[in-house]
A and B are shown apart, each in its own frame.
Chain A
Amino acid sequence: MSGAAIAVAAPSRRGWRQRLTGATPYLLLAPGLLWLVVFFIWPTIQMFLMSLSSGSLDDGFKLTWSIDAYQTAFGKFPKQMGNSLLYGGLATIFDFLIGFPVAYTVAFRGGRYKNLLLFLVIAPFFTSFLIRTISWKTLLGDEGPVLGFLKHALGVVPADFTVIGTPIAVVAGLTYNFLPFMILPLYVALEKIDPRLIEAANDLYANRWAAFRRVTFPLALPGVFAGSILTFIPALGDYVNATLLGNPQTQMIGNVIQGRFLVQNDYPVAAALSFILMAAILIAVTIYARLLGTEQLTG
């Protein structure tokens, strides 16, 4: 029926259709592009211009092309930058060390419980991020279930030992909060691996470790890449864990941005810091992608 309709249609109409077909990819892209322009590109430009402005909230900020904000940002907060990179990096590594065995087990040994196990990975995350982080204050508290037990029941740690307010607590919080972002991509990558490849490796006299190292792990690399990016980037910019679980020595760059923006109303420095953070992430990801090989990105 539709074929008949096309045959009857005038040539001009066919041309219109063809043109429409040519434009289809762009039309399909349009909503996404529009979204990006309105909610990413335009704000990024605005933020960039703000980072080159000076003034105050009350008198208004004027674009002066001054780089003072960048000088302040670089000069004043190297420690917090370092903290961010260190804690974000450590959290990513710990997430990988914890997440890989979990994802591996679910993918290869999960059987019919796969979905249930995956659900269990996500289930705690139905609770608010804040509530979960605050719970760590109780869990790791000086007289909490962990330290209280170690101190009084086992007596293996000294009575004045404390975790809350130390880098350990911040890294632990980050590791916990971003764990699913590591497990899920790893699971997807591992799940796709054809078990016959591992059998083939065994047939070719690879022992289990060699098969893992030469076959399973390389095939899981796209998941490792995606997982570590998804973990590292938000962990780097996070400020909740450092606020709730840290002390003044463990503040991260997110805390500085928050303080600049909301307390001191110093928008230019806040914008400059955000830009530096974006640049740092971009550089880190580029190096990482290079090291891992860009083709792994697409799997």
Chain B
Amino acid sequence: MDQRKTGVRGEISRRAFLQGSALAGFGAFLAACTGGAQSPSAPASIAVPTPPPVSPSPSVAPSPTPKPIPTGPLEWATWEAYIDLVGKAAEAQKYAPGSSPTIEQFKKKYSVDVDYVEKINDNEEFFATLQAPFVSGLPTGWDLIVMTDWMAAQLISKGWIEQIDQSNVPNCVANLRDALRNQPWDAKNDFHYPWQSGMTGIGFNTKTLKAVNKPEPKSLKDLYALPANKITFLTESRDTFGLGLLKLGKSADPAQTTADDLQAVHDDIKPLTEKGLRFTGNDYLQDFAAKKVYAAMVWSGDLASSGTEGDTFVFPEEGVMVWTDNMMIPKGAKNKYTAELMMNFVYDPKIAAQIENYVYYVCPVNGAEDILKALNKSAPLDSYHLNLLFPPADIVAKQHNFQFLTPDLDKSLKELFLDLQGK
């Protein structure tokens, strides 16, 4: 309801900027209110002691605003199946300008354009395109990027990420889930805010498997047993090797894993590559769309949001990998303030719930859960979707984080994985 209001007013506001900025203030104010009101259990926007939500107050007053004017277009690089879509784009499962309610609402609210690009297929592949500008101190051309924990930590430690002005992101400060706070690599969230958390497990299409008379894999062992040229693993080495460790009954914990363990995983997977196993990034979605694979290592929300009928995600018996993708502003970003506004915008629980209701990942925003359940009141979510969105205790117990490796382990991992990929 409120979204529609903002939309209508947004159109009017285009005529006069002043009106627009007043509206923006109103929108933010509204967002702050709903955030507090919807979830009394998370008194986020009230109780947080440090940076108070200053952003809305100055712009609520129609008097001259000390805040900078949002500039655009916001150049946002992210992954496939990571934003809410409607209409034709939702059918095609591919973002097209104008197809995402969240982005349209942001555009109207701040009168700024957003260039949302599904550019990231895997961390290393995308990082390869940034490395040269980062090293030479040039802008990357992106204002907002979304990268997984280990890569985020590396970028931050290299000083390649802009510091976030916390006074511009009161929603983030207030609503970030406690479990995601105090990360050792950026304890105060000076440089990152999580976009989504997710899990890595097994995906397959029930119909495809039925047609070829193959059993649905329940464990990693089952997955490995399928014809190797009809399964894919991930180019994210931490996912493939993490699950590989679990498959061998080893612990996928960087503190305990040794180079020998990684070698064992390599030796376990190598015969499969000789029989045609492939490694994919987020583009496994195209393989699923084309029914090219029987089963694959996939990320938890993708098939639910962007799969076709019969596409299913299962939590392997041996366990799942867990990770978080993080929003960051690369050094030299042209529209840093707009990027911060976007971070703040998606940390409004209402917006977060709207995104979650489409992408089916694990939401980093406090207060989104209740709104999300309210959104689906008429047709309550089934346990399959609920498990993806709010992993229950038995699944949480099976989660393993294989993100942060020592430099030596990282080097062995890369070497072994390159060999598996035939490189």
Contact B131–A248 (Cβ < 8 Å): no
Task: Give the interface size class of chain A.
Answer: 20 to 34
Contact A141–B421 (Cβ < 8 Å): no
A80 at the interface (CB under 8 A from B): yes
B113 at the interface (CB under 8 A from A): no
Option from A142, A164, A251 in Cβ contact (under 8 Å) with B421: A251
Option from B128, B230, B286, B411 in Cβ contact (under 8 Å) with A262: B128
Total contacting residues, chain B, CB less than 8 A: 24
**Residue numbers in A under 8 Å from B229 (CB-CB):** 162, 165, 247
Contact A248–B277 (Cβ < 8 Å): yes
Contact A264–B418 (Cβ < 8 Å): yes
Contact A251–B290 (Cβ < 8 Å): no
Q: In the complex, A258 Cα to B125 Cα: how many Å?
A: 11
| A-contact bits for B109-152, CB 8 A (1 contact / 0 none) | 00000000000000010001001000000000000000000000
Q: In the complex, A248 Cα to B231 Cα: how many Å?
A: 13
A175 at the interface (CB under 8 A from B): no
A255 at the interface (CB under 8 A from B): yes
Contact B423–A247 (Cβ < 8 Å): no
Option from A144, A164, A166, A248 in Cβ contact (under 8 Å) with B420: A248
A238 at the interface (CB under 8 A from B): no
Nearest opposing residue in chain A for B411, CB measure? A264
Contact B423–A256 (Cβ < 8 Å): yes
Contact B128–A248 (Cβ < 8 Å): no
Nearest opposing residue in chain A for B290, CB measure? A141
**Residue numbers in B under 8 Å from A251 (CB-CB):** 421-423
B415 at the interface (CB under 8 A from A): yes
Option from B274, B292, B411, B422 in Cβ contact (under 8 Å) with A80: B422
B221 at the interface (CB under 8 A from A): no
**Residue numbers in B under 8 Å from A79 (CB-CB):** 422
A263 at the interface (CB under 8 A from B): yes
**Residue numbers in B under 8 Å from A250 (CB-CB):** 422
A94 to chain B, nearest CB (A): 23
Q: In the complex, A165 Cα to B280 Cα: how many Å?
A: 12
B276 at the interface (CB under 8 A from A): yes
Contact A259–B421 (Cβ < 8 Å): yes
B219 at the interface (CB under 8 A from A): no
B33 to chain A, nearest CB (A): 47
Known: A162-B229, A247-B277, A247-B278. A262 touches B423 (CB 8 A): no
Option from A143, A247, A255 in Cβ contact (under 8 Å) with B291: A143
**Residue numbers in A under 8 Å from B299 (CB-CB):** none
| B-contact bits for A245-276, CB 8 A (1 contact / 0 none) | 00111110001101110111000000000000
Contact A249–B274 (Cβ < 8 Å): yes
Q: In the complex, A48 Cα to B278 Cα: how many Å?
A: 34
Q: Which of B367-416 contact A (CB under 8 A)?
A: 411, 414-415
Contact A142–B291 (Cβ < 8 Å): yes
Q: In the complex, A283 Cα to B418 Cα: how many Å?
A: 29
Nearest opposing residue in chain B for A138, CB measure? B290
Known: A162-B229, A258-B423. A263 touches B273 (CB 8 A): no
Contact B414–A249 (Cβ < 8 Å): no
Known: A142-B292, A247-B273, A247-B276. A262 touches B124 (CB 8 A): yes
Contact A165–B278 (Cβ < 8 Å): yes
Nearest opposing residue in chain A for B125, CB measure? A262
Known: A141-B290, A141-B292. A249 touches B423 (CB 8 A): no
Known: A262-B124, A262-B131. A164 touches B292 (CB 8 A): yes
Contact A263–B124 (Cβ < 8 Å): yes
**Residue numbers in B under 8 Å from A260 (CB-CB):** 418, 423
Nearest opposing residue in chain B for A253, CB measure? B423
Q: Which of B42-81 contact A (CB under 8 A)?
A: none
Which of A247, A251, A262 gathers the greatest number of chain B CB atoms within 10 Å? A247
**Residue numbers in B under 8 Å from A162 (CB-CB):** 229, 292
Contact B423–A80 (Cβ < 8 Å): yes
Nearest opposing residue in chain A for B275, CB measure? A249
Contact A249–B276 (Cβ < 8 Å): yes
A249 to chain B, nearest CB (A): 6
B359 to chain A, nearest CB (A): 25
Contact A263–B418 (Cβ < 8 Å): yes
Q: Which of A211-249 contact B (CB under 8 A)?
A: 247-249
B106 at the interface (CB under 8 A from A): no
Q: Which of B258-292 contact A (CB under 8 A)?
A: 273-274, 276-279, 286, 290-292
Contact A248–B422 (Cβ < 8 Å): yes
Nearest opposing residue in chain A for B278, CB measure? A247
Q: In the complex, A79 Cα to B274 Cα: how many Å?
A: 13
**Residue numbers in B under 8 Å from A259 (CB-CB):** 418, 421, 423
Option from B124, B276, B423 in Cβ contact (under 8 Å) with A255: B423
Nearest opposing residue in chain B for A254, CB measure? B423
**Residue numbers in A under 8 Å from B420 (CB-CB):** 248
Question: Can you spell out 25 A-B residue pairs with CB atoms less than 8 angstroms apart?
Answer: A79-B422, A80-B422, A141-B290, A143-B290, A144-B290, A160-B212, A160-B230, A164-B292, A165-B276, A247-B229, A247-B273, A247-B276, A247-B278, A247-B422, A248-B273, A248-B279, A248-B420, A249-B422, A251-B423, A255-B423, A259-B418, A259-B423, A260-B418, A263-B423, A264-B411
Known: A247-B276, A249-B276. 20 other contacts (CB 8 A): A79-B422, A141-B290, A142-B292, A144-B290, A160-B212, A165-B276, A165-B278, A247-B278, A248-B273, A249-B273, A249-B274, A250-B422, A251-B421, A256-B423, A258-B423, A259-B418, A263-B128, A263-B418, A263-B423, A264-B418
Return the 9 tightest CB-CB contacts between A and B, nearest first.
A251-B422, A259-B423, A248-B422, A248-B273, A262-B128, A259-B418, A255-B423, A256-B423, A247-B278
